């Protein structure tokens, strides 16, 4: 069975500082990894995904994520956080054999001005 862990329920960061949201996964075979962001009372917006190739993936709104196979991690990063980045972030994985997304529990990001 595949699983995703987001160890931090909430991350607080000052505007302009680097932002990191952690994610580790467990899956059989090669993973497809995703990051989504959810604003209050809204659906999920796709940020980026990793399929294969370069371990550093660049996505929307200046976000990027680094795939680390040995640590089974896919941490989301942004060099300089904005107040508008405050939202709920979900990491998700699909195993190579299927098409079902398994989500982590979510990490709430609060960027303070």
Partner 1 sequence: GAVVSQHPSWVICKSGTSVKIECRSLDFQATTMFWYRQFPKQSLMLMATSNEGSKATYEQGVEKDKFLINHASLTLSTLTVTSAHPEDSSFYICSAQQYLASVGETQYFGPGTRLLVL
Minimum distance from CB of 108 to partner 1 (Å)? 9
DSSP state of 85: G
Minimum distance from CB of 41 to partner 1 (Å)? 7
DSSP-assigned beta bridge partners for residue 32: 94
Nearer residue to partner 1 within complex by CB, 32 or 74: 32
| Residue 70 binding partner 1, by CB under 8 A | no
Q: Which two tokens stand for residue 32?
A: 């497809």
Residue 84: helix, strand or coil by DSSP?
Answer: helix
| Residue 58 binding partner 1, by CB under 8 A | no
**Nearest Cα to 107, choosing from 70, 74, 71?**
74
Nearer residue to partner 1 within complex by CB, 17 or 28: 28
Q: Are the C-beta atoms of residues 108 and 6 closer than 8 Å to each other?
A: no
Q: Which residues lie near partner 1 (CB under 8 A)?
A: 32, 34, 36, 41-46, 49, 51, 90, 94, 99-101, 103-106
């Amino acid at each position: 069975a595949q699983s995703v862990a987001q160890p931090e329920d909430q991350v607080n960061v000052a505007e302009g500082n680097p932002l990191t949201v952690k994610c580790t996964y467990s899956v059989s075979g090669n993973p497809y990894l995703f990051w989504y962001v959810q604003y209050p009372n809204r659906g999920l917006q796709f940020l980026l995904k990793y399929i294969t190739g370069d371990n550093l993936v660049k996505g929307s709104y200046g976000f990027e994520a680094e795939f680390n196979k040995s640590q089974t991690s896919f941490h989301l990063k942004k060099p300089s956080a904005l107040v508008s980045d405050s939202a709920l972030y979900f990491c998700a994985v699909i195993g190579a054999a299927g098409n079902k997304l398994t989500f982590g529990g979510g990490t709430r990001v609060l960027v303070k001005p």
